[in-house]
Structure 1
Amino acid sequence: MLKKSWVSEILVVSVVIVLGGALLKHITNQQDQAVAPPKVVAVKNGADPKFQNKLVQILNNDNYSGTAMMYKNGRLVASYYAGYADYLSDNKNQRNTMYEIDSIQKSITAVLVMQQVAQHKLALTDHLSQFYPSVPGSKNITIRQMLNMTSGLVLTGPVGPPIAESDTQIIQSDISRVHYLAIMHGHWNYQGVNFNLLCGILEKITQQSYQQLFTTQIIQKLHLKYTEFAYTLPTSAANATGYTGLITTPKDAIYTKPSTRNQALERNELGSGQVYMSAGDLYHVESAILAGKVVPLAALKQLYQDASYSKYAAGFYVQPNVKSANGAGYGFESSIHISPNGKDALILLSNYQAPLFKTKSLAQKFDYLLFN
């Protein structure tokens, strides 16, 4: 009888310890204390060891949180995912997790513009004044210059109004605060207002909203499964939460500062920061574009042939062997490096944003392996 009582007491104490530990973890999470990242998952099915090992080595050493994929000759040769898509709900990043791609979206918007050029509804030499004559300097600014960020336009403050509005209201807010610097005309200066206005031009020509155009010409045409607009993101969607911190933040504390969603910002970055995508969907889109499946190859050649001195053209930084694009914001960082024919690529989509754009420098570490 004494032995049975002693065993029972041990069981009671054990239960108390387990429950107390669970309660302590919950309290710790609520108090925004350091949390440990989950175990890294490296996907090896069908992988090429040369690419897979290098991808794991570099990203593992960096405590990478997100999804990464490498393609060679159109075949997936390496993939990797690690970290939490959402720590509080214990959801881990997976192969098809969707991330905000931010400014990488500009490269897709530029091709939607080029569709209208290929259909002879627009020309790269057309002037902004044909669509928005009230914009300062619009008689001097061409569509190509807007695509290449050499328009001379400079916006006071962020794009769009402080509250969520329609596309038309977003553009009117920009027009009321945009300035034309003649000294910068023809010189590269990265200004998101260029793409907001390009989206407005698309809407005037097609009589569709940008979201409708993107949905029909990109999502539906290319049969994407893991692509959504941020401001209409389903609650059940497999999307990641963005987190922010410093490069020096310890690996056990990178999930302590989730980024707050802001629908006004998600709407305001018209054509340039509104879309969540999986790494696979992003490769599918960009490779299809470069293979001439969205606009003819001759039109693509015309689109990218006049890169500014920064090598920037239509959403990409253009070099002979590789095109690259980057995005950052809302607790996300993203980079894509892809060959001109779309067959070789590295895609990094991360839900941890730190200063100095770490994902961009990470992507450059793979160029010798893919593009030389």
Structure 2
Amino acid sequence: MKTSNRHYDAQIINQLGSGYAIYNDGPYNTSRSTKTRDANGSNYRDDYVRVMQTKTTKTGSYVKLRYFNKYLGWMHIHGIKPTSFKNVAQGTMQNAGFLGSVALIPAGGTTPTVINTGYASITNKLSNSSDGTVVYPLASLQKAITGVIIEQLISQRKIAANTQLSKYYPQVANSKQITIKQLLSMTSGISNSEQFPRQSLNEQQAVDLAIKVMKVNLHPGYHYSDDNFVLLAGIIAKVTGKSYMSNVETRIFSKAGMHESILVEDKPIHLTNKLAESYTLKGKANYMDPNVLSFPRASAIVGAGNILTTPTDYLKFVLSLQNGVILTKQQYQQFLSYGSHYSGGLFVSRPGEVYNNGSFSGQGYHTGYDSSKNNYHVAVVFSNQSPLRNNLSQGDFVYLMYQIAADY
């Protein structure tokens, strides 16, 4: 009688008892033989779906449902209730026991959907937020910022991808066989153990400590190591004649409009009332083992984890990678070409996507970023409690939020 092609988000409801069946062939053939194995919708009870089409017949209205990128079939419209994209994201976060702040772009544009859950400080009743009242350790997502500055210097011909590390740090073992490209792609053979200095280090002290403790494999393959990007931070300072901090502030923060981002440096900073606390989920108990990131610990990984920021501020950086503010599209493509698995601070092994995750061992902080290469769908996820429910890893949760941005 009538067909509508309007798309909208919904939640499957009313599936207790007999429920509403899901049919393969829609409202024109609803015999028992056409039903899916989910005869009463119970397999998808309370799940979020995307309505792709509505058809009305003399027996009622039926909707064609997609669950993420999988088509389920047709269900009577009484089996669903319309909902918003924000509710889909928030419900998924709550189901996972997630605490933190998330910024999502579901279909292009520059204004994100921001969802916050839980407390940044349970004692002070300070809620998690992305408006600048709370900051989070950026952890390894910072590596892309360092990689972008290196890409800018390469484009300015102040350095080359095949420049040897020995030009800047000849004291590093095998430095004549290590190139800037290998540092950017984590194929230098460098490995390190995390350092926990008692006092905050300045940039030079952080680089010196990394060189002192790092090891170099003479037969390198891909190996993830913070010290690749600690060295790149030092190289940025040597090439420009300005500190790494100064380069980040002028080349990244200022241009992208990142006004809530802070570099942990050797000068004392007092952010205990602004830095989100780290928590542990134990069974069903939230907010266990409260503690905060050690600034000396962060200062030791300059260029690789010494920034505090918010999801929306980091999203500004992400969106600036391709629009000419920080990198041109050509520079961005080159930035992603230094390795087939990892390049410039991002993993590039998923076709059409770039992503990264960051954390500090022994603490509940986790940061994640996943995006289509054209930034049409983006998820930036900052958490201050681990683990998640149902044995869901933090990295998988970031990917789940990206899938929500892509499919809802």
TM-score bracket, shorter-length normalisation: 0.7 to 0.9
Aligned position for 2:366: 333
Offset of 1:202 from its aligned partner?
0.4
Offset of 1:233 from its aligned partner?
4.7
Aligned position for 2:312: 280
1:344 and 2:380 are equivalent in the alignment? no
1:255 and 2:287 are equivalent in the alignment? yes
1:333 to 1:135, Cα distance in 2 relative to 1, 3 A: same
Offset of 1:237 from its aligned partner?
6.5
Aligned position for 2:141: 104
Flag the structure with higher helix content.
1
1:78 and 2:113 are equivalent in the alignment? yes
Secondary structure of the structure 1 residue equivalent to 2:237: helix
Aligned position for 1:53: 87
Query: CA separation in 2, counterparts of 1:91 and 1:358?
Result: 26
1:94 to 1:125, Cα distance in 2 relative to 1, 3 A: same
Query: CA separation in 1, counterparts of 2:259 and 2:104?
Result: 19
Query: CA separation in 1, counterparts of 2:403 and 2:139?
Result: 26
Q: Is the 8 A contact 1:292 1:300 kept in 2?
A: no
Which runs of no fewer than 5 residues in structure 1 stay unpaired?
A: 1-47
Q: Is the 8 A contact 1:324 1:336 kept in 2?
A: yes
- Aligned partner of 2:152: which letter? Q
1:173 and 2:204 are equivalent in the alignment? no
- Cα RMSD (Å) of the superposition? 2.3
Query: CA separation in 2, counterparts of 1:166 and 1:366?
Result: 36
More divergent stretch after superposition (341-350 vs 279-288): 341-350
Moved over 4 A (4+): 159-162, 231-234
Flag the structure with higher strand content.
2
Highest relative contact order (Cα 8 Å, sep 6+), 1 or 2? 1
Aligned position for 2:60: none
Offset of 1:220 from its aligned partner?
1.5
1:164 to 1:89, Cα distance in 2 relative to 1, 3 A: same
Q: Is the 8 A contact 1:73 1:343 kept in 2?
A: yes
- Aligned partner of 1:169: which letter? Q
Query: CA separation in 2, counterparts of 1:54 and 1:83?
Result: 17
Offset of 1:80 from its aligned partner?
1.3
1:266 to 287, 293, 298: 298
Which runs of no fewer than 5 residues in structure 2 stay unpaired?
A: 1-81
1:218-237 pair list within 5 angstroms: 218-231=252-265, 233-235=269-271
Offset of 1:229 from its aligned partner?
2.1
1:228 to 1:75, Cα distance in 2 relative to 1, 3 A: same
2:337 to 302, 305, 317: 305
- Aligned partner of 2:369: which letter? I
Query: CA separation in 2, counterparts of 1:132 and 1:142?
Result: 11
1:1-372 pair list within 5 angstroms: 49=83, 51-71=85-105, 72-76=107-111, 78-96=113-131, 97-155=134-192, 157-159=193-195, 161-183=197-219, 185=220, 187-231=221-265, 233-235=269-271, 238-243=274-279, 245-246=280-281, 248-250=282-284, 253-308=285-340, 311-318=341-348, 319-329=350-360, 330-354=363-387, 358-371=393-406
1:211 to 1:313, Cα distance in 2 relative to 1, 3 A: same
Aligned residues: 316
Q: Deviations over 1:253-280 (max 9, x none)?
A: 3213122432221110111111111111
Q: Report percent identity of matched pairs.
A: 24
